[in-house]
Amino acid sequence: MSKLPLPLVIAHRGASGYLPEHTLVSKALAYAMGADYLEQDVIATRDGALVVMHDITLDDVTDVAEQYPQRARADGHFYCIDFDLEEIRTLKVSERRGADGKRKYPERFSLNAGRFEIVTLEEEIRFIQGLNMSTGGTVGIYPEIKDPQWHRSEGFDITENIVHLLQKYGYRSANDPIYLQCFDHQELIRVEKEFGLRVKLVQLMRATADLPPLEEIARYAKGIGPSIDMLYEGKGAGQDPVPTALVDDAHEVGLAVHDYTLRADRLPDGLGSLAAALELLVAQGGIDGLFTDFPDMVVKWLQGRQEAEQARDDSAG
Ligand code: CA
């Protein structure tokens, strides 16, 4: 048996390096690639449906501007919460576009191939539970409560609605295959305190965010989700990247670390390859999980590391 800890592979918006983010085919591909968890970003529609979308606006991944040209707000954006689910279902989802209207990641899936749609959180949970049933797998869900304060300002308590749906589908305790994530620590605190839901919580972190100290986060959360750039120093040319103290500090107070987001086509600064990034984050850094757009590559690297360890054990023993 290998002694190496195996960090969790979390498919960021599905296998989004290969297919349009948050579509069911992208989730199915990530599932087949061996991801441990599949991520859902969750936002609300006007009629209170929870849908799996990264942005609160529909602009960059759908054809909303063509289908509903009159429905933008004064700021020029099309907000999901201004549309009923029935309308959301008519939208065609595509690969993410940048401000210039072209693909944000030019090497990825083409813009106008396939037919993809937005799904509700409920549909996606049933889809993943269905795959677990048909394959005997145990893949978990990893929903993110998106912009809870903004949703509240629009008259919708997204946290409460997500909690109720999770309870309905059997996600209730720390043993269930789910991590629930949010940047807003007040909302994470509500999950158990106000609603009594005891699933594993992950406090997302940005370098600039104003958050409680780690020992306080450890009182309500199981882990932290920092951006990769918070985990190492030495990003400049000719510098030697080395891990920061964040992982050790988190482990000190019992928090797991799941960092975001590793992309093969947008490597972290100063790291020349995906393998170099994994070596730094996993082997040197000791992270417990990572979000990636390319779950197959991370799984393959981890398997290679396991096999090398096994070979060393065998020859030693
Ligand atoms: Ca997310």
The rounded Å distance from CA 43 to ligand 1 centre is 11
Residue 276: inside a domain:
yes
Alpha-carbon distances, residue 177 vs 72, 73, 202 (angstroms): 38, 39, 13
The tokens describing 10, both together, are 């979390």
Residue 87: inside a domain:
no
Residue 189: inside a domain:
yes
- Of 300, 251, 295, 311, nearest to 36 (Cα)? 295
Cβ density class 80-110: b for 16+ within 10 Å, e for less:
bbbbebebbeebbbbbbeeeeeebeeeebbe
The rounded Å distance from CA 310 to ligand 1 centre is 34
The tokens describing 284, both together, are 């040197």
Extract the residue ranges of the chain whose pLDDT is less than 50.
Answer: 1-2
Location of structure tokens 């023993």: 317
- Of 14, 19, 39, nearest to 258 (Cα)? 39
Question: What is residue 3's predicted lDDT score, i.e. its pLDDT?
Answer: 57
CA atoms within 13 A on the CB side of 83: 28
The tokens describing 81, both together, are 């919460």
Element (H, E) at 43: strand 37-44
Alpha-carbon distances, residue 80 vs 43, 119, 182, 303 (angstroms): 8, 13, 19, 40
The CATH number that applies at residue 264 is 3.20.20.190
Residue 207: inside a domain:
yes
Question: Residue 178 has what DSSP assignment?
Answer: B
Q: What 3-state DSSP class applies to 124?
A: helix
Question: What is residue 2's predicted lDDT score, i.e. its pLDDT?
Answer: 45
The rounded Å distance from CA 179 to ligand 1 centre is 12
Residue 78: inside a domain:
no
Q: Does 12 participate in catalysis according to the annotation?
A: yes
d(CA 18, CA 95): 9
The rounded Å distance from CA 39 to ligand 1 centre is 7
The count of structural domains within the chain is 1
Q: Which residues contact 303 (CB under 8 A, 6 or more apart)?
A: none
- According to DSSP H, which parts of the chain are helical? 24-32, 64-67, 85-88, 121-135, 148-153, 158-168, 185-193, 214-220, 246-252, 274-278, 295-316
Residue 247: inside a domain:
yes
The rounded Å distance from CA 60 to ligand 1 centre is 16
d(CA 180, CA 144): 6
Q: Which residues constitute the domain of residue 224?
A: 8-55+119-316
Question: What is residue 186's predicted lDDT score, i.e. its pLDDT?
Answer: 97
The rounded Å distance from CA 281 to ligand 1 centre is 19
The rounded Å distance from CA 50 to ligand 1 centre is 15
Residue 253: inside a domain:
yes
The rounded Å distance from CA 1 to ligand 1 centre is 34
Stated pTM of the model: 0.96
Residue 124: inside a domain:
yes
The rounded Å distance from CA 312 to ligand 1 centre is 38
Strands 200-205 and 223-226: parallel
